[in-house]
Structure 1
Amino acid sequence: MTKNTKILITGAAGFIGSNLCEYFVEKEYDVIALDNLSTGHLINISHLQNKDNFRFVEGDIRDIETCRSLVDGTDFVLHQAALGSVPRSIKDPITSNDVNVGGFLNMLVACKEAGVKKMVYAASSSTYGDSIALPKVEDVIGKPLSPYAITKYVNELYADVFYKTYGLNTIGLRYFNVFGRKQDPNGAYAAVIPLFTKQLMSKQSPTINGDGTYSRDFTYIDNVIQANEKAMLATHPDAINTVFNVAFGDRTDLNLLVDLLKQSLSKYDSEILNVKTVYGPLRAGDVPHSLASIDKAKSLLNYNPKFDLKAGLDEAVEWYWANL
């Protein structure tokens, strides 16, 4: 299956995209990588540049001709390119919409025209919005709470229309708080785990928004890689033109998260255990609690996440300690 099978990975220099590139190059797929480097970093994929089965193209999904040229002759598309972050979308909803909706539509059009076998795309747990039901089940959502959440829900609607209208096979993966190696700890919109890790390594107090009781279903990157591969190769008819939660299926509040991070980091510097946590105001658009049901992915994709939070944190911390 792998040799001569061509995959286009968008957002390829970003956190999830670069890990996917590394995995599929090692499995001897022919990988084309696209990124405009607005939030991704070339260093994430620099070690792949000399591989015969890897090609990087700097380009933007907002340019339809770029999408068309790279999708042509491609078997599968793993679409990770997006402007993430709820706060970023609240500050600048126009750019988030341009990238996440306009760029996504370009990719759908290009995939439809090229006749790709399947487009697997990064959906988001933010789609559940104000629904308070736990665990989150794919067919029960609420109203979106941010521009970012709206864009990711629109992706699902467009994917459904392109399947029903044009026969384009798509699968959406609703990621839940993905973390792990290569996730950027810098910048105003850094995710909580890399940000807290960097701060604790520097003996700086991490700031929790709220009282620390908000909880998340933190999902290690290797679980996400597994889900992408299984979705790409899925043949069960009920697995096509649908969305799946991609998570571990457990939730952890932010207070416990900081404690677990301290424990992992204390293997390298025991003084980190003494760093105090500070608390700030809640952020607009934040969902109080997030917990995924992964029964659908287990049933139709044979998804079986191997890394719980603790195991993932230990691996992530090891990477950050060696690379920061």
Structure 2
Amino acid sequence: MIEFLLSSGQRVVGLDNFSTGRRENLSDVEKSVGSEAWSCFSFIEGDILDLETCKRAVAGVDYVLHQAALGSVPRSIKDPLNSHNSNVNGQLNMLWASKLSGVKSFVFASSSSVYGDHPALPKVESEIGMQLSPYAVTKHVNELYANVFFKNYGLNTVGIRYFNVFGKRQDPNSVYAAVIPRWVKAMLSDEKVVIFGDGETSRDFCYIDNVVQMNILSALSQEKAVFGTVFNCACHDRTTLNKLFFLIKRELVKYDSSLADIDVGYGDFRDGDIRHSHADISKAADLLGYSPSHMVEEGLIESIDWYYKNLK
């Protein structure tokens, strides 16, 4: 997000406590955008749990793109208190600070996990079930608070339900790392890839460039119907974990033919995981003009090029 905004000539303020992010990513972005664009970036190392820090971050800002959260369903099941504190109380601080500062719009990261046990496919924004993890509950609460701030305070809020986002710079080393960087790192390290379940679990994997597009469209929208609501951000596609393994392996073999012999193992299904995830993106297309620039295979080509050069 920062890379795109700076490359587009914007002035950007970043706030992070590095609980899940990496400092090296900022250095990587600086090299990518160059010194002139980088001079338009101000960084605050701090925590969204501190209201005064939030106020300082949004002072004089037109648009807030709130991505901060403790992600991961397994993490939230193991530690629901910290997930709630960061995801709910942290967002409430950012909403309040943004309301006080008079920002033009507040765009925030929600999650496809909000759909919970609702069986229908594809997932439509107006139809959700019971959430299956503490993480999913926090994201639902985020949406409720944002809607309340829109109705009560006139803060233009937009929620984006992300569907399995991937792209370069994702950390593969965390216990709660996203599946794609974790598998790529395992393959490059000659470690066995483990799929939880039978491999037929499916996800609507969404490349980071699609996410950036959705955030910008949401922030700049002038349509009243956009605010106080949520949108799916995905590709309207389904990829099973078995197929994902094949696609990653196929792409990595282009760089190292010895990886053709890598095999996959299977473990138990994980608690809290949704079996299938497939987004209806017609609402975002109609109201925001959203159109995915990258399907999963196109995103993997760009991502794995970066992973291979940086993770070996």
Shorter-chain TM-score category? over 0.9
Contact 1:127–1:141 (8 Å) recurs in 2: yes
AA aligned to 1:26 is S
Q: Secondary structure at the match of 1:313?
A: helix
Q: Deviations over 1:74-96 (max 9, x none)?
A: 10100000000000000000000
Q: Distance in 1 between matches of 2:258 and 2:28?
A: 34
Q: Deviations over 1:263-321 (max 9, x none)?
A: 00000111212111000011000000000000000011100101111111111100001
Shift of 1:72: 1.5
Residue in structure 1 matching 2:242, options 252, 255, 260: 255
Q: Structure 1 unaligned runs (5+)?
A: 1-19
Aligned to 1:204: 191
Aligned to 1:40: 21
Q: Deviations over 1:215-255 (max 9, x none)?
A: 00000011111111111111111111110000011001100
Contact 1:119–1:171 (8 Å) recurs in 2: yes
Q: CA RMSD in A?
A: 0.9
Aligned to 2:52: 65
**Is the aligned partner of 1:191 residue 2:178?**
yes
Residue in structure 1 matching 2:225, options 217, 231, 238: 238
AA aligned to 2:229 is T
Q: Secondary structure at the match of 2:308?
A: helix
**Is the aligned partner of 1:25 residue 2:6?**
yes
Which structure 2 residues correspond to residues 304-319 of structure 1 after superposition, within 5 A?
304-319=291-306
Give me the TM-score of the superposition, normalised by structure 2: 0.96
**50-59 or 284-293, which deviates more:** 50-59
Q: Distance in 2 between matches of 1:45 and 1:228?
A: 20
Aligned to 2:124: 137
Aligned to 1:161: 148
Q: Structure 2 unaligned runs (5+)?
A: none
> Where do 4+ consecutive residues of structure 1 move more than 6 Å?
none
Paired-residue identity, %: 54
**Is the aligned partner of 1:85 residue 2:72?**
yes
Q: Secondary structure at the match of 2:155?
A: coil
Aligned to 1:52: 39
Q: Secondary structure at the match of 2:4?
A: helix
Which structure 2 residues correspond to residues 97-116 of structure 1 after superposition, within 5 A?
97-116=84-103
Q: Distance in 2 between matches of 1:127 and 1:205?
A: 31
Give me the TM-score of the superposition, normalised by structure 1: 0.93
Residue in structure 1 matching 2:208, options 214, 218, 221: 221
Shift of 1:207: 0.1
Contact 1:210–1:279 (8 Å) recurs in 2: yes
Length, aligned pairs only = 305
Residue in structure 2 matching 1:172, options 159, 164, 177: 159
Contact 1:48–1:54 (8 Å) recurs in 2: no
